[in-house]
Amino acid sequence: MMRVTYAHMGTSTIVFKSMLEEIGHEVIVPRRPTPKTLSLGVQYAPEFACIPFKLVLGTYLETIPRGVDMIISAGGYGPCRAGFYGELHGRILREMGYNPDFVFFFPPLKKPVDFFRKIIQLKQGGSWRDLFRSCQRGLKKLKAVDDIEIRSHEIRARELKRGDTSRAFRKSLNYLEEARTTKEIEEARREGLGELDKVSINPDFEPLKVGIIGEIYVQLEPAANFYLEETLGNMGVVPKRTIFLTSFTRRDVVAHGDREAKERAEPYIPLVIGGHGQNSVGDVVHFAEDGYHGIVQLAPFTCIPEIVAKSIMPHLSKVKGIPVLTFFIDEQTGQAGVETRLEAFVDLMQEQRKNNSA
Amino acid sequence: MKGYLGIDVGSVSTNLVIIDENDNLLTSHYLRTRGQPIRAVQEGIKKTGADSPENLEIAGVATTGSARRLAGVIAGADTVKNEITAHAVAASHIVPDVQTVLEIGGQDSKIIIIRNGIVVDFAMNTVCAAGTGSFLDHQAARLNVPIEEFGELALKSNNPVRIAGRCSVFAESDMIHKQQTGHALPDIIAGLSEALVRNYLNNVGKGKEILPPIVFQGGVAANPGIKASFEKALEEKVTVPPHFDVMGALGAALIAKRLMSRSDKPTRFLGFELSDFQYEANSFECEDCPNNCEIVNILVGGELHARWGSRCGKWDQIEEKRTG
């Protein structure tokens, strides 16, 4: 048994926890990053590293003193420097005198031998059958978490009393966190969705729909994106992220990325620029064709793939007739500037919708 | 006579205007916020009340600017609007076919792209000082030139020096260097104006389609040097509207009027006497979940009047949903 931890990334935490526990590890559950986590990360990170690097480092530094033997993380290929982040985190931690084991997973189809070696390391003495079952349950749970989150976004935009949906959502996640067997997970999913359906809503309200694109960490971790989806929901908007861990696992972890998004991006950006830069472009095309009213692009400050994608946005926005608002996220923790822009963006989308229907 | 009050509380200035039913400007006030938005609003409302016609009845109030929520509670606003929308509304009102709004204030700057009377794109800069009024303020102080004379001096230059843009720190060291090598003051000031405009266009204005008519507003529009630099860089005529420094407040007043003309509810305006009330703000950290939200309390005469800041909404009393 090892004391294992990983980076906090939105709702995925509860799924990783149960999967690792099932194969016999003790999990030191990372807490959601706070401004304190950020300060800690900034203190020990290279100045020009991006915000995901700093927040993850800060998270490790908060978790390690609670007793950690092993950190699990993902490595990567291609032009985005995040592929090296795990290695760099390890070196910084070792220089600081900490010495946890690091296990980096690379896409299994690209490095199958390496992948299996790491699985064996994690699985320890357990049987393959148990491991397979645990992964199956993990995927099921991940899917349930995503289903509940997507439903919460649809409900929140229509809720009558602010905060009801967020409360019901937290309750639903608690059900799922406790669910262990396949049957329990299915039950928790149903009950969770039921909690959300109990929220009183205005059924006649036609919310605006906004697609969220951009780098994976700032999309998935609300603490890194000013709680964008909740904020939009409170303004009566249904947000839809392009990255959910279930789809990400299928497309990017196992295989070679989202082929459809890449095909849609082809006319504007025909080559791999790393990270999710190409997806960001392809996803705008998708959202525009799907009748969305606007796009919010989330990018860590200094993120090259998203900078390249952003430079294509003015043209794309014009051709596809969909407004795009980009946030470069760095160390600022003030919510006010983000809210001002979002409010103005909502005004803009409402006026455009009114104008288009007139 | 009915009037509509618009209040714009920014980090540097607090502006108030009243318009009548025909959109005529009745009063206009520009005060320094000096880090005390509550006091600035109270004082502004008192002054506005003293200056307004006797038979005036306030029929609607809107607040905008970075302290819009706070100001909304203090004044009793009928609506609270973001400053981007407020500036766009005001610019479209003064120049109905406007396509581009350049706005430069003390701590932030914006660009708003309007087509057929509708905002289609915007950008706002609040992180970097290099494209805002505080950059000019700071350099004027360094050069010992009153900020009011800055623009006129710039116009006297025939040969502006090149001063680094991007960052006010780079600009400053560049400027000192040019000073020490003996360049004339007007040339340096004109160079600074061009650097600010270059920064603005490269940063806030990046990727935006700037088409005429172009309206330039915000406190910095008082500076004819900057206006000239914009015209030179854009090769287009730039219009500075007569009330350029209170456009946010004017936009808010117009928004209040539109809202109240569609509604049969009375205004929530608390009256011009509110400067007599004792306002107080304090905050605490909620420890009920890991969010650790900072909750702000607004007290009037010792009693809790409004509260906000919680992510879950549990402490909020004045939050309203657009759904309702």
CA–CA gap between residue B227 and residue B194 (Å, rounded): 10
User: Which residues from B are below 8 Å from A166, CB to CB?
Assistant: 311-313
Q: What angle do CA B117, B3, B52 make, to 5 degrees?
A: 125
Nearest to B290 among A31, A330, A355 (CB): A31
Contact B85 A344 (CB under 8 A): yes
Q: Does A251 score more than 60 pLDDT?
A: no
| pLDDT tens figures, A286-320 | 999 999 999 999 999 989 999 999 999 999 999 99
Instruction: Tell me how far CA of residue B140 lies from CA of A10, B134, B149, B176, in angstroms.
Output: 47, 10, 9, 12
- Give the contacts of B266 (CB within 8 A, at least 6 positions apart): none
B13-to-A197, B25, B160 alpha-carbon distances in Å: 46, 19, 30
* H-assigned helices in chain A: 13-22, 35-44, 51-63, 85-95, 112-123, 128-156, 164-178, 182-197, 216-220, 228-234, 245-248, 259-265, 277-289, 304-320, 336-357
ipTM score of complex:
0.85
How far from the centroid of its chain's Cα atoms is residue B200's Cα? 16
Predicted pLDDT of residue B35? 85
Please say if the pLDDT value at position B316 is more than 70.
Answer: no
Residues B54 and B165 in one domain: no
- How far is A303 from A149, CA to CA, in rounded Å? 27
Pairing state between β B100-104 and B109-115: antiparallel
Using a CB-CB cut-off of 8 Å, the residues of chain B touching A346 are 322
- Claim to verify: residue B37 and residue B141 sit in the same structural domain: no
The amino acid that residue A73 corresponds to is S
Average pLDDT, chain B: 88
Q: Is the pLDDT of residue A70 over 80?
A: yes
Q: Which domain holds residue B147?
A: 96-240
Q: Indicate the burial class of B104 (C-beta count within 10 angstroms; 0-12, 13-18, 19 or more).
A: buried
Q: Which residues contact B187 (CB under 8 A, 6 or more apart)?
A: B157, B158, B159, B160, B161
Q: Which residue has the higher pLDDT, A84 or A206?
A: A206
Q: How far apart are CA B231 and CA B218, in angstroms?
A: 16
Chain B residues near residue A163 by CB distance under 8 angstroms: 310, 312-314, 316
**For residue B165, is pLDDT > 80?**
no
Cα separation, A175 vs A346, in Å, equals 34
Q: Does A174 touch chain B (CB under 8 A)?
A: no
User: Which of A120-124, B87-91, B184-188 is predicted most confidently?
Assistant: B87-91
Query: CA dihedral in degrees (B264, B269, B270, B276; nearest 10)?
Result: -160
Beta bridge partners of B306: B298
Asked whether residue B299 falls in the same domain as residue B310, the answer is yes
Instruction: Say how far apart CA B57 and CA A352 lie, in whole Å.
Output: 34
Interface of B to A at Cβ within 8 Å reads 66, 81-85, 116, 118-122, 124, 126-127, 207-209, 290-292, 310-314, 316, 319, 321-324
For residues A328 and A306, what is the distance between their CA atoms, to the nearest angstrom?
9
Average pLDDT of span A228-249: 88
pLDDT at B243: 93
The whole-number average pLDDT for the span A81-106 is 90
A118-165 confidence digits (pLDDT tens): 888 888 778 888 888 888 899 899 999 999 999 999 999 999 988 899
List chain B residues with CB under 8 Å of A159: 321, 323
pLDDT tier for residue B221 given thresholds of 50, 70 and 90: very high
How many C-beta neighbours within 10 Å does residue B182 have? Answer: 6
Amino acid at B299: L
| B66, B312, B313: residue with CB nearest A336 | B66
Q: What is the CATH number of the domain that holds B84?
A: 3.30.420.40
Q: What is the DSSP letter of A251?
A: I
pLDDT, tens digit, for every residue of B222-279?
999 999 999 999 999 999 999 999 999 999 999 999 999 988 889 999 888 876 778 8
Q: Among all residues of chain B, which has the CA nearest to that of A311?
A: B207
Task: Tell me: do B41 and B113 sit in the same domain.
Answer: no
Q: What value does the mean pLDDT of chain A take? A: 89
Token representation of residue A197:
């359906």
Structurally, how many domains does chain B consist of? Answer: 3
Local confidence band at B322 (pLDDT 50, 70, 90 cut-offs): very low
Question: Do B231 and B285 fall within a single domain?
Answer: no
Rounded Cα–Cα distance for residues A99 and A69 (Å):
8
Q: Let me know whether B66 and B126 are in one domain.
A: no
* Residue A198 predicted with pLDDT over 90: yes
- List of chain B residues whose C-beta atoms are within 8 Å of the C-beta of residue A339: 82
Using a pLDDT cut of 90, give the percent of chain B over it: 52
A 211-250 residues with CB < 8 A to B: 227, 230, 234-236
Nearest to A283 by CA among A270, A297, A300, A271: A297
State whether residue A99 is helix, strand or coil.
coil
Q: Do A166 and B313 touch (CB under 8 A)?
A: yes
pLDDT band at B324 (very low <50, low <70, confident <90, very high): very low
Residues spanned by CATH 3.40.50.11900 within chain A? 207-358
First-last CA distance in chain B:
31
Nearest to B84 by CA among B98, B69, B66, B71: B66
Quote the percentage of chain A above a pLDDT of 90: 61
Q: What is the mean pLDDT of residues B176-181?
A: 89
Q: What are the angstrom distances between the C-alpha of A322 and each of A100, A131, A190?
A: 47, 45, 36
pLDDT of residue B142: 84
Reply yes or no on whether the pLDDT at B129 is more than 70.
no
Residue of B84, B126, B313 with shortest CB distance to A162: B313
Q: Identify the helix (H) or strand (E) that includes residue A328.
A: strand A324-329
Single out the residue in B212, B240, B268 at which a domain terminates: B240
Pick from A31, A159, A340: CB nearest B83: A340
Instruction: Please indicate, yes or no, whether residues B317 and B196 belong to a single structural domain of this protein.
Output: no
Is the pLDDT at A80 greater than 90? The verdict is no
Class of domain A3-125: alpha beta
Is beta strand A3-6 parallel, antiparallel or unpaired with respect to A70-74?
Answer: parallel
Chain A neighbors of B307, CB-CB under 8 A:
none
Which range is least confidently modeled, A108-112, B84-88, B212-216?
A108-112
- Answer yes or no: is pLDDT of B321 > 70: no
- Is the pLDDT at A103 greater than 70? The verdict is yes
Strands B2-9 and B79-80 come out as unpaired
Task: Say which CATH architecture domain A207-358 belongs to.
Answer: 3-Layer(aba) Sandwich (3.40)
The verdict on a CB contact (< 8 Å) between B118 and A317 is: no
Residue B100, pLDDT > 90, answer yes
Q: Flag the least confident range among B3-12, B56-65, B121-130.
A: B121-130
Distance from CA of B35 to the nearest CA of A (A): 16
In angstroms, rounded to a whole number, what is the distance separating the alpha carbons of residues A156 and A196? 9
Residue A254 in this model has a pLDDT that exceeds 70: no
How many residue contacts between A and B have a Cβ separation below 8 Å? 90
Task: State whether B106 and B186 are in the same domain.
Answer: yes
Q: What is the reported pLDDT for A7?
A: 93
